[in-house]
Each structure stands twice: as C-alpha cells, then as structure tokens.
Structure 1
C-alpha cells in the first residue's frame, strides 16, 4: 500500500465479504482530514451543535477508511448522490465518484458511535441504534413489524431489544436497497432465519441477507446485502485511529 499519511491500516477487502468498522465519534481523532465545501455546508444546516460535530467527525472517518481501501489520500475521495427514487433529483444514496465507483459503502451514526460497512462487490446497508436511548420501545412494535411478525415471529416479542433489533435489520435492508423513505418497514419481514443471517421476505423488499452484528452493549446494529450469504467481519476503528 502506498504511503498516504492520513489513511488507516486496513486488511485487503475480499471480493465476497463485508467489512464493518466501528468508530467512536471524536472529532479530534480525525480533525486533520479536509472536507469538501458541500460537506461543510451540509453540516452548517444542522441546528444542533452536537449533530454538526458528529456529522463532521463521521465524514472524516468515512474518508479515512475509504481512502485506505482505495490506496489513495482522503482528499482524493469524492462522492456523488444517486437520483432520488421519488423525485429523480440527485439527493439519493451516496456513492463513490469515478474512478472509484466500483466499491460500495454505507454508514450509520448514533450518538457518539459510527458504523461503516464496505463491500467490493455488492450494495450494502448498515444501521446502528443505542438500546435505552428511547423509553419503552414496545409501543413502536406495530410501526416496525410486519403483520406476521406482530403475530409472534420473534422470541420475547415485543420487548425493547427485540423491537430495536428488528428495526436495525429492516433499516439496513432498506439502505442496501437505496429505497430511503419510500418503503414502509412494516411492508416486509426480516425475521426468517436462513441459517446464515436473516432473510427479508414476504413483502415489498425480498431477497436481502441481513446479519446481526456482534457489538458491545448497549449498541445494536445490523448489516444487509442482496442475494447470497457473505462473510461479515467487524473491526475496531477506534484502535485503528489510535495507531495512526
């Protein structure tokens, strides 16, 4: 790998397999990474100071990580947005701009935590939530589960952890599909155990493989890919940042 002082030390990305990185959102750790004007303007539109700082730290960590996989500098990483599935304007799912458009990624922030999923061969979606952040998630069960899942498709349903787990699975699948707010999470199920991850089934979003991520409590996270099973490896981004 070439010597780019602002990147991280990452393992090779396999053709079939998903790498998921967990970071803590501490802006000082990545403050040397310069962002583009559009990213700074987007941060300024956020009203809350914590949200602005988290967004900036997250984008810098994302640039560092993608630059490491692409063997380039963080400033050479550029993004474009796909057309929105509703209006057609360019504010849909972000992706890498040419000449790096062959690699796929997705990110999710929650409080001071960040997950970034990277794939060399397929679309990917990731979602991260914090157990205990919202009180009594059982009230949200009808807004998360399909009709079949509400009828008892999950162990202990509904309790806070099972509701949040199902939510992250469905959000990851929706993000992998690039459907955004156009798809109701109650319109499909994500609780069918395939023996290697969970399948999204019996509704508007079928055929996605969803994996529950082994994260320390109280974090709950999932990653989703279309099609066949793929190995998922989780890495500690905080340790990688500390080693820079």
Structure 2
C-alpha cells in the first residue's frame, strides 16, 4: 500500500478473540449507545463478540490519533454517492473530517485503515471453489478471463486477492457492494494492479493465522510511498488497560 509524500496512511491488524477473554472485561462502556444496542441484537454470542472487539478497537485507535477519549469520537456516515442519503462511507465527524478510516473483519482477524485521505480496507478468508464459481460472473469481463486461466486452487487465492482489492476500493468511494461489480477493472496485467483513476489499490500482508486470510487497501491518491502496517495488542480491548498512544503515534 502506498501514498504520496505529503499524505500519510496507517494499517492496523488485530486478532480477535473467539471467546470472551478472561480477566479484565472488554471496554464496552466506551462504545456509543447505538453500538451497544447493535451488539446486543446479535443472536449468537460469537457474532456479538466480534462486533464488540472490532468497534472497541476502532474507537480506541481513532481516539489515539485524535487525542480524545474513545467515547468522544463522533462517528457519522457520509452521503451515498448514488442517492445522497446518509448511508455512504463511515467517517469521523468534521468539515473536513480530521482523518479518514475504514474497518473490515473476517473470521477472527480485523483490519483498520487510518489516513489523511479517503481509504477503504478489506480482509477475507480465501473462499471455497464453489463460492468463486458463484461470484465469478459478476466480475469485470477481463477479471473473469484472468481468473479462468488459473487452475482451481490457484484461482481461489487469486480471486480472494482480487475481491479484497475490489471491495476495498468500493468501500473507499463510499458505494460498497451496491455498485456493479463488473464496472471497475482491478485485475493484474503484466504483474501490476490496474488502479482506478485517482486511487492506489494494493493487497497487503496480514500475517499467518488458523484461517488463510487475504487483505487489501485502497487510498484516494495516485503518487506513492509505503504505508505503515502494525499489530494491535490483545489488551488494547480491555477496560482495565490504557491504550498506549505512543504505539499508535510513534510506530
């Protein structure tokens, strides 16, 4: 992932717990009332836990950048590029926003992007061959052709890399999957990703895990330099811990 010299971007990864961690409780009180209500609406305890840990980490992370308490972070939705209603890209309140962010989590791994310009991130586990075949017809024709040249096993990982690039970009522009998946070509020609105009889209390393994950980030800038990538510690989630601001600001 890369940005221009005068634009910064950071990517943070978090391994989410599969069960409620022992000892100190999660910092649920730092969430908004709406976030706590949404968490309580999940029927499965594990789904509730994944939502809570992702959003606790997000609030603490943004608060560390902004120099405020997590409960003071004012999260809003920008207007949808298609209809203008307030269900577009999630953002920190402000005109202009003091920073931009994106969140994705899948099968116990969360990815956070924080940047000076609009950003989108996505992390997924490598899908089954059946899922690839089901989704393939929705992609850009050139993307379909590239994937069909690969063998079944290679196709799964290449599809995952492509899908995360595409979803990161669509989250970055604020449409999400409501946009036609065949409209934008984000394939790889000559070993290089085809970047949409005004954007840099790259797959990013996300470490080893019990699940084979693939990740990508999209940044609304053309020129490039490497972004910072780091891991958040597990105690970043606990009510009894104080997030290390230097971890975020000085990494």
If the length of structure 1 is used for normalisation, what is the TM-score?
0.79
Partner of residue 129, structure 1: 124
Partner of residue 11, structure 1: none
RMSD of Structure 2 on Structure 1 (CA): 2.9
Contact 1:199–1:207 at 8 Å: present in 2 too?
A: no
Is the aligned partner of 1:101 residue 2:101? Answer: no
Q: Indicate the SS of the match to 1:40.
A: helix
Q: Distance in 1 between matches of 2:50 and 2:172?
A: 23
Structure 1 range deviating more: 22-31 or 107-116: 22-31
Partner of residue 202, structure 2: 211
> Which of 228, 235, 239 pairs up with 1:233?
228
User: What is the aligned length?
Assistant: 224
Partner of residue 57, structure 1: 53
Alignment of 1:8-157 (within 5 A): 15-26=6-17, 28=21, 31-33=26-28, 34-98=30-94, 101-120=97-116, 122-131=117-126, 134-140=128-134, 142-143=136-137, 145-152=139-146, 156=150
Contact 1:199–1:208 at 8 Å: present in 2 too?
A: no
Partner of residue 7, structure 1: none
> Which of 169, 182, 185 pairs up with 1:173?
169
Q: Distance in 2 between matches of 1:226 and 1:39?
A: 28
Contact 2:143–2:187 at 8 Å: present in 1 too?
A: yes
Contact 1:16–1:231 at 8 Å: present in 2 too?
A: no
Structure 1 range deviating more: 28-37 or 39-48: 28-37
Is the aligned partner of 1:182 residue 2:178? Answer: yes
Structure 1 range deviating more: 173-182 or 147-156: 147-156
> Mind listing any 5+ residue stretches in structure 2 that lack a counterpart?
245-251
Any idea what the Cα deviations from partners look like across 1:36-83, whole Å, max 9, x if unmatched? 111112223333322221111111000111111111221211111123
Q: Which has the higher contact order (CA 8 A, sep 6+)?
A: 2
Q: Distance in 2 between matches of 1:130 and 1:230?
A: 27
C-alpha distance 220-97 of structure 1, shift in aligned 2 (>3 A): same
Contact 1:138–1:160 at 8 Å: present in 2 too?
A: yes
Q: Distance in 2 between matches of 1:48 and 1:91?
A: 26
If the length of structure 2 is used for normalisation, what is the TM-score?
0.77
> Mind listing any 5+ residue stretches in structure 1 that lack a counterpart?
1-13
